[in-house]
């Protein structure tokens, strides 16, 4: 072989290895000398050896075990920490920018699904250790195109569980469809299930009757119903057998005592001002808050707080890490959309930000109370909404919960085992045990002692494939 051909071949293979691919792993992979984070016991294990064959974990032995290491590619992790891959339960994977279109002289809002943005998000999610997600509302055709590309190995991305467009009292092209009668609700749910929906997402504009028909329709079709609510109080929706609630924003007038309700409604401006105006009248240790906690204990909903989505809005009058993170990791067209006009604080005056920040301790107190219940507590970010960048925002969510006072062990369980169970995948995801899928996070430091250590990512294992620092940087676009 002539040197020039050899050089070209070497160059070609070097280029090939520089590309992070999603091909199936070959042979066994052994991770030796690693502490397993046992969040359910709030402790870490002694040094262990973890063996992966194909896409599954096959053995967990004491460090150095011969049968664990035999004929495998052995990675010595030198006392690092191993935890299951993270699960973001509120990530709008395929969502494009929110924009206006003229239709017969009227401005119509829309947000179309976008495969390029989905791919951008997917790479950064993996780069930050998010190996599974629930898309709580989006285009189902785009979701199934994404799934197919991950399955055939042409795209590196998380496993996805998808809801269709949210079902509401009005259409918003690409985001929401209207169901004004029980028949329309039944049809909307059936069509979404036929198009591959794993969940049905019900929305704030539905009357109590329509919400109930949505929950019943979802159950007739064998799907859980999850809702974003404001008018209907959470305990009332849970009594209708609603399976899940999103956002720690329970801003129903029915959760205020009569005097507080009157004084709120007398001055309420509605819209996103409610995100703080309602809390000004709510006591997170009062009787209505006790009712919320009791309803969580009784019905055990799947819940994600998405604190980061609200906090990012509450501080957006300042330079924030959320904006920095968005600048680095959000898709440029979404970023431009947020800089142009679309945020949760459109129209807010300086004093509104001051008032919003003043109620934050109440949100924190409610988070602590709810995350202490036996409900199916998970984590979500509302990725692709303003300033919520893929992957890194789940670490911000964990930090916000820790700052509120939620114990790190509870946060880590919410990000892994609880979420896997809630997705009906608790027999193969969310745990480190033989037979489980090898979606793993290797950390330089113990996340139980400080939640910020989830950011100290040494490597990610995705379906048994080891992704080291270079691969992760490449996925994050760094």
Closer to Zn ion by CB, 60 or 308: give it: 308
Question: Minimum distance from CB of 204 to Zn ion (Å)?
Answer: 11
Residue located via tokens 């490449």: 474
CA 237 to chain centre: 22
E-strand ranges in 182-336 read 200-202, 225-227, 244-246, 302-304
Residue located via tokens 């918003």: 172
Collapsing DSSP to helix, strand or coil, 441 comes out as strand
Question: If you write DSSP's letter for every residue of 56-85 in order, what string do you get?
Answer: EEEEEEETT-HHHHTTEEEEEEEEEEEEEP
Specify burial of residue 204 (Cβ count, 10 A radius: 0-12, 13-18, 19+). middle
Closer to Zn ion by CB, 90 or 210: give it: 90
Bridge partner list, 28: 53, 72
Pairing of strands 225-227, 200-202: parallel
Centre a 10 Å sphere on the Cβ of residue 434 and count the other Cβ atoms it contains. 11
The site for Zn ion (CB under 5 A) is made up of 382
Residue located via tokens 């079902």: 167
Give 468's Cβ-side CA count (13 Å radius).
7
Is residue 129 a contact partner of residue 184, using CB atoms and an 8 Å limit? no
Closer to Zn ion by CB, 114 or 382: give it: 382
Closer to Zn ion by CB, 127 or 138: give it: 138
Closer to Zn ion by CB, 69 or 201: give it: 201
Centre a 10 Å sphere on the Cβ of residue 341 and count the other Cβ atoms it contains. 11
Distances in whole angstroms, Cα of residue 357 to Cα of each of 227, 400, 438: 26, 14, 41
Is residue 94 a contact partner of residue 334, using CB atoms and an 8 Å limit? no
Closer to Zn ion by CB, 325 or 382: give it: 382
């Amino acid at each position: 072989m002539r040197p020039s051909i050899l050089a070209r071949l070497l160059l070609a293979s070097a280029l090939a290895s520089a590309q992070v691919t999603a091909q199936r792993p070959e042979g066994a992979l052994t991770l030796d000398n690693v502490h397993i984070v046992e969040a359910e016991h709030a402790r870490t294990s002694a040094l262990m050896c973890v063996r992966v064959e194909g896409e599954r974990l096959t053995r967990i032995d004491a460090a150095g075990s011969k049968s664990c290491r035999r004929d495998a590619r052995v990675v010595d992790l030198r006392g690092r920490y191993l935890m299951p891959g993270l699960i973001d339960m509120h990530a709008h994977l395929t969502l494009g920018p929110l924009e206006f279109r003229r239709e017969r002289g009227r401005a119509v809002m829309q947000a179309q699904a976008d495969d390029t943005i989905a791919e951008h998000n997917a790479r950064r999610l993996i780069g930050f250790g998010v190996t599974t997600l629930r898309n709580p509302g989006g285009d189902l055709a785009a979701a199934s195109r994404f799934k197919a590309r991950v399955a055939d190995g042409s795209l590196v991305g998380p496993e996805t569980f998808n809801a269709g467009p949210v079902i509401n009292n009005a259409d918003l092209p690409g985001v929401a469809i209207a169901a004004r009668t029980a028949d329309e609700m039944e049809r909307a749910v059936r069509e979404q299930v036929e198009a591959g929906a794993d969940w049905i997402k019900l929305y704030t504009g539905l009357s109590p009757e329509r919400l109930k028909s949505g929950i019943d329709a979802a159950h007739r079709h064998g799907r859980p119903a999850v809702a974003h609510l404001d008018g209907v109080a959470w305990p009332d929706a849970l009594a209708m057998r609603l399976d899940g609630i999103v956002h720690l924003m329970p801003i129903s007038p029915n959760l205020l005592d009569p005097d507080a309700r009157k004084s709120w409604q007398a001055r309420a401006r509605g819209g996103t001002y409610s995100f703080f105006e309602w809390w000004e009248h709510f006591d997170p240790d009062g009787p209505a808050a006790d009712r919320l906690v009791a309803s969580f204990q009784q019905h055990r909903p799947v819940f994600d707080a998405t604190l980061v989505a609200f906090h990012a809005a509450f501080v957006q009058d300042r330079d924030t890490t959320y904006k920095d993170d968005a600048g680095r990791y959000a898709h440029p067209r979404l970023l431009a959309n947020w800089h142009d006009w679309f945020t949760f604080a459109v129209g807010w005056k300086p004093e509104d930000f001051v008032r919003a920040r003043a109620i934050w301790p109440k949100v924190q107190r409610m988070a602590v109370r709810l995350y202490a219940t036996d409900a199916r507590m998970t984590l979500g970010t509302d990725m692709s909404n303003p300033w919520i960048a893929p992957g890194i925002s789940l670490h911000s969510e964990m930090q916000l919960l820790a700052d509120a006072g939620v114990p790190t062990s509870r946060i880590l369980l919410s990000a892994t085992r609880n979420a896997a169970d809630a997705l009906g995948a608790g027999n193969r995801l969310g745990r480190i045990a033989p037979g489980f899928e090898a979606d793993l996070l290797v950390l330089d430091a113990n996340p139980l002692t400080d939640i910020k250590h989830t950011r100290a990512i040494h490597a990610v294992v995705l379906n048994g494939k080891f992704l080291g620092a270079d691969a992760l940087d490449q996925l994050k676009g760094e």
